[in-house]
C-alpha cells in the first residue's frame, strides 16, 4: 500500500545565506539613523536570500492553474456510447467479410461421426441393380466398368455397398434391408476408419429396414440424434449423407418435396408407403443412409430413388422411411 507523505513538525529554519542577511538587517536597524561623514544617508542592505512570501504563493497558484488547464486539455474524453445501429453495422460488416459454412455443411459435420459404410459379402447378384452398382464402384476406382470386384477376402465377393447410421452408442446401426439381404458376411466402417463385422439383429421388411449390431466399436462412438417428422413440411431443407457407389461420406442438399408418398420397386416385388419425398441427390450406395435436417438430426432413412428407366440414376426424386418407422424396427420408438 502506498504510504502517505511524512511531514516534520519542527519549525522551519532559514538557509545560511538568508540567516546572514537577516543578521545584517538587524544590525542596521539597531544603528542610529544618521548621516555619514559625507552627509549621505546610508541605506540598509538589501536582502538577497530566499524567503517565503506572497511571490512564492503567487507562483504556486500559477503552477496549479497551469496543471488544471493542461488536464482539461489533455485528459482523454469519455468514449461514445455504443448504439444498436453500431452493433448492426458491425454484424453486417462481419457477414460481408467473413466466410461462413453453409447450413448443409454444418449439419453434415454434426451427423458425420454417426455415419458408417456398410458392405455385404456373398454370392454375386445378377440383377440389373447389382450390375449397375458394380459398374459405378469400378468407375469410381478408375477401373473398367466390368472389372472384377476387389477388397474382399479369399472366397468372398462384395455384393453391394450401402450406408448405415448409428442410433445407439453400443453399436446399433440402422440400414436398408436390401443392402444386407442374402449377405454371408457384413462389414461396417466407422467414421474413424475402424472396420468391424456386424450381424443382423432385427428386420422390418414392410419398410425395407434392417438393424445391425457391430461386433467392435470405437471408444468414442457418437450416436445420431433423431427428430420427429410430425412438423415436417414440403420445402423444408434436408441433406442426404452416404456412400453413393462407395464414394464418401458424400453430402447432397435439397428440400422435402412431398410427404406420405408410396413407391414400388422396379421389380414390382414390394410397395412402400408413408415415405418422405426429397430432391437431394441420391444414388445406389446412399441406401440406408440418414436424411437429416439442418440441425443434423435424422428425419428418415434413405431407401429408394425413382427410376422410370433401368439406368438406376438419380432424376430428382428420392424416398426415405420416416424415422418413427425406422426406430421402431430397432424396438425403441423415439417419440
Cis peptide before 261, with omega less than 30 degrees from 0? no
Q: In sequence order, what E strands does the chain have?
A: 115-121, 158-168, 172-176, 185-189, 195-204, 209-214, 237-242, 250-264, 271-278, 290-292, 298-305, 318-322
Cell of 29: 536597524
Contacts of residue 223, defined as CB under 8 A and 6 or more positions apart, other chains included, come to: 114, 166, 167, 168, 169
Contact 108/241 with Cβ under 8 angstroms?
yes
CA distance 180 to 196: 15
Q: Please give the positions annotated as active site.
A: 178, 208, 287
Cα dihedral sign, 155-160-162-166: negative
Q: Which residues pair with 186 in a beta bridge?
A: 120, 198
Cell of 146: 466390368
Contact 119/173 with Cβ under 8 angstroms?
no
Contact 278/238 with Cβ under 8 angstroms?
yes
Provide the 3-class DSSP secondary structure of residue 61. Answer: helix
CA distance 68 to 198: 84
Provide the 3-class DSSP secondary structure of residue 157. Answer: coil
First to last CA, the chain: 65
What DSSP letter does each residue of 212-261 carry, written as one string? EEESS--TT--PPPB--STT--TT-EEEEEE-GGG--SEEEEEEEEEEEE
Amino acid at each position: 500500500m502506498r504510504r502517505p507523505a511524512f511531514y516534520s513538525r519542527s519549525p522551519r529554519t532559514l538557509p545560511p545565506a538568508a540567516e546572514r542577511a537577516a543578521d545584517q538587517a538587524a544590525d542596521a536597524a539597531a544603528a542610529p539613523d544618521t548621516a555619514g561623514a559625507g552627509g549621505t544617508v546610508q541605506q540598509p542592505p538589501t536582502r538577497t536570500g530566499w524567503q517565503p512570501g506572497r511571490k512564492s504563493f503567487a507562483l504556486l497558484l500559477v503552477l496549479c492553474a497551469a496543471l488544471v488547464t493542461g488536464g482539461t486539455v489533455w485528459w482523454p474524453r469519455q468514449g461514445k456510447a455504443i448504439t444498436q445501429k453500431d452493433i448492426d453495422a458491425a454484424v453486417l460488416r462481419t457477414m460481408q467479410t467473413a466466410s461462413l459454412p453453409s447450413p448443409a455443411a454444418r449439419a453434415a459435420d454434426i451427423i458425420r461421426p454417426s455415419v458408417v459404410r456398410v458392405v455385404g459379402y456373398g454370392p454375386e447378384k445378377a440383377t440389373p441393380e447389382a450390375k449397375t452398382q458394380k459398374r459405378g464402384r469400378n468407375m469410381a476406382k478408375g477401373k473398367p466398368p466390368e472389372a472384377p470386384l476387389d477388397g474382399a477376402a479369399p472366397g468372398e465377393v462384395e455384393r453391394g455397398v450401402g450406408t448405415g447410421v448409428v442410433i445407439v452408442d453400443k453399436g446399433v446401426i440402422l440400414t436398408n434391408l436390401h443392402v444386407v439381404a442374402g449377405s454371408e458376411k457384413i462389414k461396417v466402417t466407422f467414421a474413424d476408419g475402424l472396420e468391424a463385422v456386424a450381424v443382423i439383429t432385427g428386420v422390418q421388411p414392410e419398410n425395407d429396414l434392417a438393424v445391425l449390431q457391430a461386433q467392435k466399436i470405437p471408444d468414442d462412438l457418437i450416436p445420431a440424434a433423431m427428430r420427429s417428422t410430425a412438423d415436417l413440411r414440403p420445402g423444408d431443407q434436408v441433406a442426404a449423407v452416404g456412400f453413393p457407389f462407395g464414394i464418401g461420406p458424400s453430402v447432397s442438399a435439397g428440400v422435402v418435396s412431398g410427404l406420405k408418398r408410396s413407391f414400388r420397386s422396379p421389380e414390382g416385388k414390394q410397395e412402400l408407403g408413408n415415405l418422405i419425398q426429397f430432391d437431394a441427390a441420391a444414388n445406389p450406395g446412399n441406401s440406408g443412409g440418414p436424411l437429416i435436417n439442418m440441425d443434423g438430426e435424422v428425419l428418415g432413412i434413405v431407401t429408394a430413388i425413382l427410376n422410370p428407366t433401368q439406368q438406376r440414376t438419380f432424376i430428382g426424386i428420392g424416398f426415405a422411411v420416416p424415422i418413427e418407422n425406422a426406430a421402431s424396427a430397432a424396438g425403441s420408438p423415439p417419440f
